[in-house]
């Protein structure tokens, strides 16, 4: 049964000096263990989420590399042939156009992968494990 710190014991007697101190310390230790357990559980959940996101990031980066390296060879071969033969473009400028378009596509895929990286930072766990400075709540204590 929980009592407030100044209330008399249920037997009607008065509290004797430091007799309640060990129970109070035990309660604090139990609360600290529960808080730590909750944070470790949160860490485990975020690590599981990070484990699920990491393969997606890797797959996107591999896809970006494949697109950048192959340059959509079949499609661009047809475009280059059409521009050189039908439109009369210079083969050099046609290849420059192909290069710019392929680099833009690869950059877009890489940008999407980089945008997913903050999901690996475990933001909720960091928030719960960070001790805020009492004087300035926006600063973290060392």
> Residue 123's closest CA among 7, 13, 45?
45
51 in any annotated domain: yes
For residues 123 and 44, the answer to whether their CB atoms sit within 8 Å is: no
pLDDT of residue 14: 47
For residues 103 and 67, the answer to whether their CB atoms sit within 8 Å is: no
138 in any annotated domain: no
Backbone angles phi, psi at 132, to 5 degrees: -85, 145
pLDDT of residue 65: 87
135 in any annotated domain: no
105 in any annotated domain: yes
94 in any annotated domain: yes
| Structural domain total, the chain | 1
Domain that holds residue 42: 21-129
User: pLDDT of the chain along its 142 residues, tens only?
Assistant: 455 555 555 555 444 545 566 777 878 888 888 888 988 898 889 889 889 999 999 999 999 988 877 867 888 888 899 999 999 999 999 999 989 998 998 899 999 999 988 878 877 777 877 877 656 555 554 4
117 in any annotated domain: yes
137 in any annotated domain: no
87 in any annotated domain: yes
pLDDT of residue 142: 44
């Amino acid at each position: 049964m929980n009592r407030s710190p100044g209330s008399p014991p249920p037997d009607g007697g008065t509290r004797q000096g430091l007799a309640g101190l060990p129970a109070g310390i035990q309660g604090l230790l139990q609360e600290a263990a529960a808080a730590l357990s909750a944070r470790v559980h949160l860490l485990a959940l975020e690590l599981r989420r990070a484990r699920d996101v990491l393969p997606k990031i890797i797959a996107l980066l591999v896809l970006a590399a494949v697109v950048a390296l192959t340059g959509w060879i079949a499609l661009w071969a047809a475009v280059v042939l059409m521009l050189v033969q039908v439109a009369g473009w210079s083969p050099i400028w046609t290849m420059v156009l192909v290069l710019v378009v392929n680099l833009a596509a690869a950059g877009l895929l890489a940008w999407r992968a980089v945008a997913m990286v903050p999901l690996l930072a475990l933001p909720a766990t960091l928030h719960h494990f960070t001790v805020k400075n009492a004087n300035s709540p926006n600063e973290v204590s060392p």
